[in-house]
Amino acid sequence: MRAVDIIMKKRMGGELTKEEIHFLITGYVDGSIPEYQISAWLMAVYFKGMTFEETGYLTREMIASGEVLDLEGIPGPLVDKHSTGGVGDKVSIILAPLAAACGVRVPMMSGRALGHTGGTLDKLDTIPGFTTEIDIKQFRSNLMGSGMAMTGQSKEVVPADKKMYALRDVTATVESVPLITASILSKKFAEGAQSLVFDVKCGSGAFMKNMEEAETLATSLVETGRSLGRKVVAVITRMDEPLGHMVGNFLEIEESIDCLKGKGPDDLMDVTYRLTAWMLVAGGICSDIDSALAMCREKIESGEAWEKFLLNVKEQGGDPEALQKGYGTFRSAYAVELKAETDGYVQEIDAFETGMTGVMIGVGRNKTTDNVLPYVGIELKKKCGDEVKAGDVLCVIYTEDEGKNADALAKMNAAYKIGPDPYVKKDMILKEIK
């Protein structure tokens, strides 16, 4: 078999066999197939797609590229959620301790920044001392302790996704239903969750820009997940405006803290409550979504979710005191303000443009070798529906490189649209597939 023939077959729209996919993935992981050939193959898949069978083979090969975490003996329910990626999407950081406070155990394997979207691991890394590189012993111990464990792909667990995820990020091959499906499900299978809730983002800040694309991805995740023997729910949520007020790695940790203390913004809390509630239903903690929502609200109000978060920070090497001292003070060197030019109401904050501003200033990566910057980001002072007067601050952009300030301001100016008419708030939850 030769990689070039498989690339050509896909380029011509052919359906790959199990053996061909096995050849490519094992060769990629052991280094015998170079990245330039995998990049070409990814681009062919991006344009020609994959059948349901091919997506299943790819997912299974990616799982088989490493170990599957052994959670034998950990009492359930073991439930996780995964987002297809958005801007300002810090839901996992709030949802994991919240679900744990409700009695679910959350084995969570997340990703890093991808394309214009942020990454849970990059955000968690900004907590002083916190590490997401934990071994299986620690992973199990956290599940028995706080009830949540936060990690990422590694050389041992789904190494194929670790390599391919980074490669897709810099080869413009992220927005592909089969590649997203295999990437997400390989991680979710390897981490040992019994039930899964997917947050399929839809809108300018998502990889799926409209409802038709989002439904295709949701169906692919649900069907492939079920074919792997998992209980699956998918929720399609709005992602045309960044979620919450903060976009940036430490900035999003700060906003997660606000949410866990009961002071979170409505859009972010609506999505977080709904997804967590589905985890409780999928895990059998609650029999229906309304009682699950009530339990979630109660665990935020009582402070139990916040306590779980602090416990997990300690378990993963973090320093809760240093974190709380850093709140509101860990900032990059420059802060520039974008001001409104006219009176009116905020009609739109383009989430894609906001995400790309983030990538430019260092929230995400331009090359696989780039390091993300912990304290840069964008604080949205005004959100859709807010009334503004000329001169009001719309957002503050935190940067480490003064030379980027003018471009960042211009991009955010393009992202904001102000109009004369009051704005009608839109539902965050667009559709549920159970």
Interface with ligand URA by CB under 6 A: which range of 131-139, 180-188, 276-284, 416-424?
A: 180-188
Q: How far is the CB of 174 from ligand URA (least distance, A)?
A: 6
Please identify which residue in 184, 247, 268, 361 interacts with ligand URA, judged by CB under 6 A.
184
Burial of 326-338, coded b for 16+ CB within 10 Å and e otherwise, reads: beeebbbebebeb
Q: Cβ closer to ligand URA: 85 or 362?
A: 85
168 catalytic residue (yes or no): yes
Report the residue closest to ligand URA, judged by CB: 183
Q: Cβ closer to ligand URA: 91 or 300?
A: 91
Contact flag: residue 43 with ligand URA (CB under 6 A): no
162 catalytic residue (yes or no): no
Contacts for 196 with CB less than 8 Å, ≥ 6 apart: 79, 80, 81, 82, 188, 225, 230, 231, 232, 233, 282
| E strand or H helix that includes residue 361 | helix 351-361
Interface with ligand URA by CB under 6 A: which range of 6-14, 43-51, 179-187, 190-198?
A: 179-187
Contact flag: residue 196 with ligand URA (CB under 6 A): no
Dihedral Cα 120, 123, 125, 131, nearest 10 deg = -40
Q: How far is the CB of 293 from ligand URA (least distance, A)?
A: 25
Contact flag: residue 305 with ligand URA (CB under 6 A): no
Handedness of CA 70, 74, 75, 77 (dihedral sign): negative
Locate 1 and state its tokens: 């078999």
Task: Kindly name the residue from 65, 146, 176, 183 that is annotated as catalytic.
Answer: 183
Contacts for 239 with CB less than 8 Å, ≥ 6 apart: 86, 87, 89, 201, 202, 203, 204, 205, 206, 351
Q: Cβ closer to ligand URA: 111 or 242?
A: 111
Q: How far is the CB of 18 from ligand URA (least distance, A)?
A: 21
Q: How far is the CB of 118 from ligand URA (least distance, A)?
A: 11
Please identify which residue in 111, 147, 159, 355 interacts with ligand URA, judged by CB under 6 A.
111
Interface with ligand URA by CB under 6 A: which range of 18-26, 50-58, 183-191, 300-308?
A: 183-191
Contact flag: residue 84 with ligand URA (CB under 6 A): yes
Are 257 and 270 contacting, i.e. CB atoms less than 8 angstroms apart? no
DSSP one-letter code for 402: G
Contact flag: residue 193 with ligand URA (CB under 6 A): no
Dist CA 380 CA 388 (whole Å): 13
Dist CA 2 CA 260 (whole Å): 52
Cis omega (within 30 of 0) for bond into 159:
no
Please identify which residue in 55, 126, 183, 256 interacts with ligand URA, judged by CB under 6 A.
183
Contact flag: residue 177 with ligand URA (CB under 6 A): no
Contact flag: residue 39 with ligand URA (CB under 6 A): no
Q: How far is the CB of 410 from ligand URA (least distance, A)?
A: 28
Query: How many Cβ atoms are within 10 Å of 47's Cβ, its own excluded?
Result: 11
Interface with ligand URA by CB under 6 A: which range of 9-17, 182-190, 373-381, 383-391?
A: 182-190
82 catalytic residue (yes or no): yes
Task: Kindly name the residue from 105, 168, 201, 245 that is annotated as catalytic.
Answer: 168
Contacts for 318 with CB less than 8 Å, ≥ 6 apart: 127, 128, 129, 130, 131
Q: Cβ closer to ligand URA: 180 or 310?
A: 180
DSSP one-letter code for 406: H
β 377-380/195-202 pair status? unpaired
Contact flag: residue 95 with ligand URA (CB under 6 A): no
Please identify which residue in 56, 66, 77, 85 interacts with ligand URA, judged by CB under 6 A.
85
Locate 23 and state its tokens: 């050849």
Burial of 264-278, coded b for 16+ CB within 10 Å and e otherwise, reads: bbebbbbbbbbbbbb
389 catalytic residue (yes or no): no
Contact flag: residue 42 with ligand URA (CB under 6 A): no
Contact flag: residue 180 with ligand URA (CB under 6 A): yes
Task: Kindly name the residue from 161, 199, 267, 350 that is annotated as catalytic.
Answer: 161
Q: How far is the CB of 21 from ligand URA (least distance, A)?
A: 17
Dist CA 216 CA 223 (whole Å): 11
Contact flag: residue 114 with ligand URA (CB under 6 A): yes
Assign 331 to helix, strand or coil.
coil
Binding site for ligand URA (CB under 6 A): 84-85, 111, 114, 179-180, 183-184, 187
List active site positions: 82, 161, 168, 183, 187
